[in-house]
């Protein structure tokens, strides 16, 4: 894997371990030579991820709609920053630049990105892995919902299996980096 798209929160979460987890992921990817594509923010988990990867001499590519640049939330020290018009263009460009997708904790924007990228695979529009880092059990309720969607007949089991879930960042990064 050469480039991984990371979806994560623009907020730091409660307690320092969320930010530390994002920094760890950024550092691990940079040390493996994996470039990061992400939303381009300088705040929250997004900023921590980018700063750590850059500090480890990694390549970090941001993609941000002009409206967010206008709010001064863009990261000014990235390897590349692509400015787009809309959130839909943001997701499309991020997806086209990446070889796979990793979702860290985040809110509704993060969920929107995760579900769209995962749906692209379900529809056969791409053959890229989607992974969810279930840090501190953050996504336990979402995982229970997805499993219920399978048991109730709304989600095929093979599509559910296409969303990789791990609690351990190192194991998940290894799995993504080994994907061919």
In the chain, the domains with their CATH numbers are 3-178 (3.40.50.450)
Pair 7, 104: CB distance under 8 Å: yes
Q: State pLDDT tens for residues 117-127.
A: 999 999 999 99
Residue 72 pLDDT > 80, yes or no?
Answer: no
Q: What is the DSSP code string of 16-49?
A: THHHHHHHHHHHHHHHTT-EEEE--BSSHHHHHH
Q: State pLDDT tens for residues 14-42.
A: 989 999 999 999 999 999 999 999 999 99
| 137's tokens | 């059990």
**pTM attached to this predicted model:** 0.95
Q: Which residue reads 């500090």 in tokens?
A: 55
Mean pLDDT, residues 139-149: 98
Q: Which residues of 45-80 are buried (b: 16+ CB within 10 A; e: fewer)?
A: bbbbbbbbbbeeebbbbbbbbeebeeeebbbeebee
């Amino acid at each position: 894997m050469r480039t991984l798209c990371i979806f994560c929160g623009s907020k730091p979460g409660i307690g320092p371990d969320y930010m530390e987890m994002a920094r760890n992921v950024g550092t691990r990817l940079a040390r493996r030579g994996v470039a990061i594509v992400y939303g381009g923010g300088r705040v929250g988990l997004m900023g921590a991820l980018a700063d750590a990867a850059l500090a480890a001499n990694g390549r970090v590519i941001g993609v941000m709609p002009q409206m967010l640049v206008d709010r001064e939330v863009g990261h000014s020290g990235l390897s590349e920053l692509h400015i787009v018009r809309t959130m839909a263009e943001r997701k499309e460009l991020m997806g086209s630049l990446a070889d796979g997708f990793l979702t860290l904790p985040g809110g509704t924007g993060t969920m929107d990105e995760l579900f769209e990228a995962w749906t692209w695979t379900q529809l056969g529009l791409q053959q890229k892995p989607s992974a969810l880092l279930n840090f501190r059990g953050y996504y336990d309720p979402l995982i229970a919902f997805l499993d219920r969607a399978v048991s109730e007949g709304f989600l095929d089991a093979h599509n559910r299996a296409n969303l990789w879930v791990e609690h351990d960042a190192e194991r998940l990064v290894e799995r993504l980096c080994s994907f061919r």
